[in-house]
Structure formats: C-alpha cells, structure tokens
Structure 1
C-alpha cells in the first residue's frame, strides 16, 4: 500500500541548502533524473489529506519508504531534535534516522544511487554511433544521437525527449541528459552526471548536476559541481575539484557563515541561479557562488562569492539590482520560459539577505 505523503518545508534546512534553495523549495532540488518531490509515489497538497507528513529534505529512497510505512499512528520520527516525519498528531516521538540532506554537496553523494535506480535501458539500435552495453542505454524516440560513443559498462545512460547529442560526444554512465538538453561537438560527459532539461553543455563534465536551463557550452572542466538554473558559464570556464595536497575540502556554509570542513576530497563548485562567468574564468576547489552573479577573473576569485556580485576579480562590486533583474528576465526569455510573477520579490529577498557579505 502506497502512503499519501505531504512534504513540509523546514526553514533551517532550506537555509542550510543555499544557494541552491534561494529561488526554490527543498523539494524542487534535482538529483538523478528528476526533482526530489517527483520521486515520492503519492504526494498530496495539504497535511489533512496525507497519511504521513515528511520533511522535504528527506531522501525518497526505497529504504525510506519502508521505514515510513512502519511509523505507528500519532507518532513521529525524530533525529537529534528534528522532526523528520509524523503520522497524525505525532504525539509519540521515536528516535529514528532517515537519510536527509544537511548540505548542498550531499546531492552529489546520491547521484549514483538515483541514476542506477531510475534508468531502465531500451537497447537502442546504434546507427552511426558506438554503444557499449546497449541494454543499459535508454534513448527516447524523439532524441537525436549522431556519431557519438555511449559507454554504459559502468552504469546506465538516459537520453531523454528531444535531446540532441552532437557528433563526437562521449558519455560514460551512469548519466542522464534530460528533456531538450544539447551537447556541443566533442563534449565529454563522465559518470554520475545529470544534464537538466534545456541545458547546453560542452567540454568535460564529471560527476555534476546541472539544474534546468543552464549552459556550459564550450571547452573547460567541471567536476563534482552543482549548477543552478539559468546560469551560463563562458568559454574555458574551469573549476578545480581536488586540492593539491589531497586534503578534505571546505565549503562556505550559509548557516555557520563560515567555512565548513566537508570531509570530502573531491568538491568543485556550488553555483546558484542566474550566474554568468566571463571567458577563461577559473574557480578554486570548494567555491560557493550565490545567485545573480556576473563574474570574471584572471586569477582565482574568492571561495565564497555572495549573491549579486559583479565584475572582474579583484574589483568585484554589487550588481545593480535593476540590471540583474533585466539579465534574469533575458535568460528566462532566451530559454523560452515564463517569467515567474514572484521573481522580483524573490530577488529582493536574496539581495537583502546577502547585503552584509557584499559589503
């Protein structure tokens, strides 16, 4: 029996997952082939309609579903004082750990799990391509794949509706290119990568998640990186994902307002929405970039760039709000999407929240 689930937003969790949650709810974060909320079997729009209420940062894994189904009536699962799920009034708390997101980089940790679970091959005919382990490859009938090599020997590959794979593209699974995504000539897509709907990518991309409608169309390397929506990384933009001394990487933490040791050796960049970079911009290992930034640099910019930063490092300054709003609308229009009615309000909230950091 499937449970009807209501996802509730925890504001502390939403704050900790910035900058990826500056323009979206936690449930709208992407991992694998879709958003978190789309992975729940039966979602309802109000708690009154739900069998169970679940915090939106809880990961919808098969093990999670099994644990939730065992929650008694009028009880809740609590972990370190945080309510993760409750049934009815939740009056009886039970200490239980469910997998949930504490930090944005943790999305990358679950890429392989979700990609392998969600992709089912349809054994397409290779045509003028080379397919390795074609039984693990899915290609939508409307997709175009020309003169490319797809290697699913280490994990499945998903090529979605309307995707355009241009000649010379190399893809190693597990990987997913979602609706209307495009690769440029000679793109290299390495394992555990999701290219979101409407994205255009090129160069070398390894273990990354691209949220919808972003571009990295030209040469340059990104690894262990998450890119928000409507961002555009200029030609030869590069990001380091490994320290020279092979020590664990630290990331700026919006809750701590300081660097946090991730304990991970491979972390590239966490990039918000509406971020553009100039030609040949390079980012250091573990760089966090807020939303609505327009950045270029000869050397490495700081490892934390607040939202609404503008210019060529070291001469970064505040991005004029009206120009930033116009730029955001232009990118939305370029991708043939509707401008959200609350875009200006959402931008104003981000502007106010990051003002002290820009100063």
Structure 2
C-alpha cells in the first residue's frame, strides 16, 4: 500500500533556493521528467488525509521511500533541528538524514538518477534516424524525429508528446525532451539534460534543466545550468561552466547575501523566470540571474544580477516595473499560456525583496 504523502513548504528553504522559487513552490521545481511533487506516488492536498507529512525539499528517491515506510507511528525524522518527515503527532524524534535540497544547484546532482529511473524505452523503429541502443529510447507516437542521431548507450532518452526533433539533432542519454519541445537544426543535447514542456532549444546544451516554456533556440553553449520558465537566451549567448584555474565555483547565495563556495568544479548559471539575454551575451562561471531581467553584454556581466535588472552591462539599471510586467505577459501569450492571476502580486513581492541589491 502506498503512503499518502502531504508536502509542506519550509520558508527558509524556499528563500535559499531563489531565484528558482521566486515564482513557484519548492515542490514545483523540475528535475528528471517532472516536478518534484509529481514524483511522489500518492500525494494528497490536505494534511488531514495524509499518512505522513514530508518537507517538500526532501528528494523523492527509492531510498527516501524506504525510510519513510519505516517511520514509526507518532514519530518524526529530524536532521540538524529540521523536521523532514512526520507521522501522526511526531512526538518521538529520530535523528535521520534524508536526501534534501539545500541549494539550487542540488537539482543537477539528482538528474542522472531521476532520468535513469523514470525513462522506460519503447524500442522505436529507426526510420530515417540513427538510434544507438534503441531499447532504452522512448519516443511518443505523436513526436516528429527527422534525420537525427539518438545515443542511449550511456543512459535512456525520452522524447515526449508533440516533440519536434529537427534534422541534424544529436542527443546523448540520459536526457528528456518533454511535451511540445522543439530542437533547432543541428542541436546538440548532451547527458543529464531535461528540456521542459514548450521549450525551443538549439546549440550545445550539457547537464542542464530547462523549466517549461523557455528558449535557447540558436548557437551557443550552456552547461551545468538551470533556466527558469519563460526565459529567452538570445543567439550566441554562451555560459562558462568551468573556471580557467580549475578551482571550485562560488555562487551567490540569497541566504548569505554573498558568495558561497559550492565545492563543485563544473557549474554554470542559475537563471530565474522571465529573463532575456541579447545576442552574443557571455555569462561567467557561477552566475546567478534573478527573475525579470533584460540584459546584454559583450564582456562578462557580474556573477550576481538582481531581479528586475535592465540594459547593456556595465550600464545596468532597474527595469521599469510596468514594462517588465508587459514583457512577462507577452512571453506567456507567445507560448499560448494563460497569464496567472497572481502574476502582478508575485512580481511586486520580488521587486520589493531585491530593491536594495539593484540600488
């Protein structure tokens, strides 16, 4: 019998995972082939209906499910003072680590595991394509794949509903291209990459997560990066993911209000929602860009760009709120989506929170 799980949000964690959580809950973050909340086998929307309460940042892996099944009645798993899971009253506290998100880049660490666990191949007929290890390739019957090479020898590949893979596309698994995604001619999708629903991608993409309805349609490299929703990286936008001195990468931390050494040697960009970059923009290793930014640069802009930044570096200024709102609505409409009722309110909250950084 599957546990009925209720996910609760931790506000401190939501703050720490910015800019990815500026417009969404922690449970709504993407990895593998879905959001985190959709990976729970039996999720309920009311705590009173649940067998167990789980912090939404807990990573839903088989080892996590096993530990939750072992949690006794009226007990809770606690790690470093944080309640991670609770059954009943939770009065009996058990010190137990569960895999949990702490920082935005942690999503990338679980990509390979999620993709391998979630993708089951359907052995498609090659047609005019080349499939390497087709038993580990899934292609939805409505997808269009033309003149491309899909290599699943190192991990499975998922091509979802209404996906359009244009000629010359190269895909190395594990990788997932979700509903309504389009690749441009000659796109190169490398391992541990998720392209979310409604995205359009091209150039070279390696170990990245694209949240729904974003674009990087033309040439340029992006590696070890996460891109929020309704963002558009202009042609020849390039992101570095390795320092020239091969040292570990520091990343702006919203909790520390300053840089944090990630301990990682490969880490590119963490990009919020509704971000646009101009043609030829170059982004440095370990760059964080807040939501609602419109920027361009020939040189490398700062490694932290606050939300609602606008212009060509070094002349960045505050993005006029009404123009930013109109831009967000335009991108939503371009992707044939409905404008959320709370969009303006959500944007106002982000505007206030990041005002001091822009100034």
Please tell me the TM-score bracket, short chain as reference. over 0.9
Gaps of 5+ in 1: none
- Give the corresponding residue for 2:207: 207
Is the counterpart of residue 71 in structure 1 residue 65 in structure 2? no
Which aligned pairs between 1:147-162 and structure 2 lie closer than 5 A?
Answer: 147-162=147-162
| CA distance, structure 2, for counterparts of residue 13 and residue 88 of structure 1 | 23
- Give the corresponding residue for 2:332: 332
| CA distance, structure 1, for counterparts of residue 324 and residue 91 of structure 2 | 47
The secondary structure found in structure 1 opposite 2:20 is: coil
| CA distance, structure 1, for counterparts of residue 104 and residue 130 of structure 2 | 35
Q: Deviations along 1:250-289, whole A, 9 cap, x unmatched?
A: 0000000010000000000000000000000000000000
| CA distance, structure 1, for counterparts of residue 295 and residue 80 of structure 2 | 39
Which aligned pairs between 1:11-30 and structure 2 lie closer than 5 A?
Answer: 11-30=11-30
Is the counterpart of residue 188 in structure 1 residue 188 in structure 2? yes
Q: Deviations along 1:265-314, whole A, 9 cap, x unmatched?
A: 00000000000000000000000000000010010000000000000000
Show structure 1 runs of 4+ deviating over 4 A.
none
Which aligned pairs between 1:205-244 and structure 2 lie closer than 5 A?
Answer: 205-244=205-244
Report how far residue 99 of structure 1 moved.
0.2
| CA distance, structure 2, for counterparts of residue 245 and residue 72 of structure 1 | 50
| CA distance, structure 2, for counterparts of residue 200 and residue 110 of structure 1 | 23
TM-score by length of 2: 1.00
- Give the corresponding residue for 2:297: 297
Report how far residue 156 of structure 1 moved.
0.3
- Give the corresponding residue for 2:93: 93
Report how far residue 245 of structure 1 moved.
0.4
| CA distance, structure 2, for counterparts of residue 261 and residue 80 of structure 1 | 21
- Give the corresponding residue for 1:307: 307
Q: Deviations along 1:44-79, whole A, 9 cap, x unmatched?
A: 111111000000000000100000011111111000
TM-score by length of 1: 1.00
- Give the corresponding residue for 2:341: 341
Aligned pairs, how many? 359
- Give the corresponding residue for 1:163: 163
The secondary structure found in structure 2 opposite 1:264 is: coil
| CA distance, structure 2, for counterparts of residue 113 and residue 288 of structure 1 | 25
| CA distance, structure 2, for counterparts of residue 252 and residue 273 of structure 1 | 17
RMSD: 0.3
| CA distance, structure 2, for counterparts of residue 91 and residue 101 of structure 1 | 25
Report how far residue 200 of structure 1 moved.
0.1
The secondary structure found in structure 1 opposite 2:341 is: coil
Report how far residue 116 of structure 1 moved.
0.2
- Give the corresponding residue for 2:288: 288
| CA distance, structure 2, for counterparts of residue 8 and residue 87 of structure 1 | 13
| CA distance, structure 2, for counterparts of residue 298 and residue 215 of structure 1 | 20
Report how far residue 92 of structure 1 moved.
1.1
| CA distance, structure 2, for counterparts of residue 288 and residue 195 of structure 1 | 20
- Give the corresponding residue for 1:260: 260
| CA distance, structure 2, for counterparts of residue 268 and residue 283 of structure 1 | 8
The secondary structure found in structure 2 opposite 1:67 is: helix
Q: Deviations along 1:142-166, whole A, 9 cap, x unmatched?
A: 0000000000000000000000000
The secondary structure found in structure 1 opposite 2:94 is: strand
The secondary structure found in structure 1 opposite 2:262 is: strand
| CA distance, structure 1, for counterparts of residue 35 and residue 133 of structure 2 | 27
- Give the corresponding residue for 1:10: 10
| CA distance, structure 1, for counterparts of residue 321 and residue 348 of structure 2 | 8
- Give the corresponding residue for 1:316: 316
Which aligned pairs between 1:121-140 and structure 2 lie closer than 5 A?
Answer: 121-140=121-140
Report how far residue 185 of structure 1 moved.
0.1
